[in-house]
Chain A
Amino acid sequence: MALVLAAYFAVLVAIGWWANRDTRSVAGFYVADKKLPSWVIAFSSNTTGESGWLLLGLTGMGYLVGFHALWIVLGEVLGVAVAWAFVARPFKEYTDRYDSITVPDYLSDRFLDRNHTLRLLSAAIILSMVGAYTAAQLTASGKAFSSFLGISYGSGVWIGAVVIVLYTSVGGFKAVAYSDLVQGILMFFSLLILPIVGIRAVGGWGELMSGIREVDVSLLQPMGDLGLSVGGLISALGFAGIGLAFLGAPQLLTRFMSARDGDQIAEAGVIAVLCIIVFDVGAVLTGIAGRFLFPGLEDPETILPVMAAELFPPVLAGVVLVVVLAAIMSTVDSLLILASSAVVRDVIQKILDPDLSDRQLSAIGKGLTVVIGVVGLLTALTEARMIFWFVLFAWSGLASAFTPVILCSLFWDRTTKEGAVWGMLAGFLTTVVWVLVFKERFYELYEMIPGFTAGFVVTVAVSLWTRPPDGAAAELKDVRATLRGRASVPSP
């Protein structure tokens, strides 16, 4: 098992060294010079979005609620599809026009933000959420090592953090994206094979269905044990709402920006949707098979390690550990790059010292990636309770702040800077307040739904009361004409 793990880490570090030659500029370090092909951006987007939650959290959800977890599949598949079909190309077109390499970069130019309000607000939200998100993922890394290899939690956190920080700081976004491709392929085949192995271990599909019916018939129902009640509908809505983040979370938008061109985006959309279907359906079915095979687990999120240990020989169980680590690492590396870019590009280069050279900024970016990784490491070492509820919270915090504003900015020419600022604040703060005050009182409704709604309503309402930036309507018209593949009509 240790050999499999060592080989995997060696591949990641090699990718980091290979990508290093293209990290001498800020654009090279943060968006791989916008030259990535379809396969890379598709897998990178999915693996960044999914994290260790897919393999431990969603399999656990399948174990716990059965086919009711298909609402998560619905939300995520539709979220990914709509993002690639409708959001990716206009976002790419706008960011190419502005030479943007970060999401705050785009927002700043789109709304003529001369006093940097949007940049600073975006950077603050990104840093606060990424810090927590990274720590939670490193916690998952420690727990994965501990349950698969029996080594201490702290050593697991250290090993995960050192490898991620090494290849990310050396190879930048290019290393992150290509390592995501490798990690995504591992996750794809694992989640294709795991449910098949689980179902075969039960004795076949028919045996699984009749066995699950005996365990709890509601596990076969789309609305689970809550049925068509208010609680059931709110649960389904919350599950489906997880997919909203694919429409505008900044760590995913970076993938659209780094695509080579529109053709790559169109191809990547098909790959990404096929991939997410296999990821999600595979995880849910694995959990359901696990429920029959290993009933009564105290923690449903351990079903994958339990199945790997019981159904596979040690070498293949090692591969499953690698896949869990791949899911964790492919998210953490992207978050480190995102946080580093928010500081280096949006604060240092654009606000504090615009005269620094590309090489200096790239070096600062590498150093900062290490610093943010160390902060996540120390948090994970001191706070081992940060698990998947925190991942979902940070996922919602980032998405509720950015997604409504991004969607309005791409499709509505009346969106204003004030609308964007207040919309981001409303989305972010609603997420936090909902978790702290209201969630328990409203059937545990997932914070993404109120956060996204508040962000959207406030962005639109404030925009209607304020003046849009000069030329925004003509520009949006021109972007649309370009995307349709024909010249726009010059505005009067």
Chain B
Amino acid sequence: MMLLGLPVETWLLLAVATVPGFVLVVRAHRAQRRRRSGRSADPGGGGEGPAGPGLGADVRKARDERTSGPDRV
């Protein structure tokens, strides 16, 4: 079957090649915006960037100990 001179399966390949990837990043962008709104509503509640109070402090301390050695700069 043809559509605009091109087989339908070729149009399908073009759609599969482009649409899911675009949807994926748009969803990721929206999720990030939601997280950012959540963070602005709760400034001490963590998120990316410098550690807020109570943000897995023990884990961060353990990590700092693991990665701080004579070769750290």
Q: Footprint of B on A, CB under 8 Å?
A: 26, 67, 70-71, 73-74, 77-78, 80-82, 84-86, 89, 92-93, 97-99, 109, 112, 114, 205-206, 208-210, 213, 220-222, 261-263, 265-267, 269-270, 272-274, 277, 281, 349-351, 354, 469-471, 474-475, 477-478, 481-491
Given A85-B28, A93-B48; A354-B70 close (CB under 8 Å): yes
- Pairwise interchain contact B18-A277, C-beta atoms closer than 8 A: yes
User: Bound complex: CA of A380 vs CA of B37, how far in Å?
Assistant: 52
Distance (whole angstroms) from the CB of B5 to the closest CB of chain A: 3
Q: Footprint of A on B, CB under 8 Å?
A: 4-7, 9-10, 12-14, 16-18, 20-22, 24-29, 31-33, 35-36, 38-39, 45-49, 52, 54-60, 62-63, 66-67, 69-73
Distance (whole angstroms) from the CB of B14 to the closest CB of chain A: 6
10 contacts between A and B (CB under 8 A): A81-B24, A267-B29, A272-B25, A273-B22, A277-B22, A351-B71, A478-B56, A481-B46, A485-B35, A485-B38
- Pairwise interchain contact B13-A70, C-beta atoms closer than 8 A: yes
- Pairwise interchain contact B71-A263, C-beta atoms closer than 8 A: no
6 new A-B pairs (CB below 8 Å) besides A354-B73, A488-B55? A67-B10, A77-B22, A97-B63, A209-B4, A482-B55, A490-B57
Q: SS class of chain A's interface: helix, strand, loop or mixed?
A: helix
Given A74-B13, A222-B9, A471-B66; A84-B55 close (CB under 8 Å): no
Residue of A73, A109, A471, A481 near B62 (CB, 8 A) is A471
User: Bound complex: CA of A143 vs CA of B28, how far in Å?
Assistant: 41
User: Bound complex: CA of A274 vs CA of B19, how far in Å?
Assistant: 10
User: Bound complex: CA of A185 vs CA of B38, how far in Å?
Assistant: 34
User: Bound complex: CA of A85 vs CA of B26, how far in Å?
Assistant: 9
- Pairwise interchain contact B59-A491, C-beta atoms closer than 8 A: yes
Residue of B28, B67, B69 near A84 (CB, 8 A) is B28
Residues of A within 8 A of B26 (CB): 270
User: Bound complex: CA of A220 vs CA of B55, how far in Å?
Assistant: 56
Residues of A within 8 A of B60 (CB): 97, 478
User: Bound complex: CA of A73 vs CA of B31, how far in Å?
Assistant: 26
Residues of B within 8 A of A265 (CB): 32
Residue of B12, B21, B48 near A81 (CB, 8 A) is B21
- Pairwise interchain contact A478-B45, C-beta atoms closer than 8 A: no
User: Bound complex: CA of A266 vs CA of B6, how far in Å?
Assistant: 35
User: Bound complex: CA of A354 vs CA of B31, how far in Å?
Assistant: 41
Given A471-B63, A474-B59; A263-B32 close (CB under 8 Å): yes
Identity of the chain B residue whose Cβ is nearest the Cβ of A70 in the assembled complex = B13
User: Bound complex: CA of A484 vs CA of B33, how far in Å?
Assistant: 12
Which are the 5 A-B pairs with shortest beta-carbon distances? A209-B5, A81-B21, A266-B32, A74-B17, A488-B56
User: Bound complex: CA of A430 vs CA of B4, how far in Å?
Assistant: 43
Residue of B5, B14, B70, B73 near A206 (CB, 8 A) is B5
- Pairwise interchain contact B22-A81, C-beta atoms closer than 8 A: yes
- Pairwise interchain contact B48-A262, C-beta atoms closer than 8 A: yes
User: Bound complex: CA of A406 vs CA of B36, how far in Å?
Assistant: 27
Residue of B5, B20, B52, B66 near A205 (CB, 8 A) is B5
Distance (whole angstroms) from the CB of B16 to the closest CB of chain A: 6
Given A475-B59, A478-B59; A67-B6 close (CB under 8 Å): yes
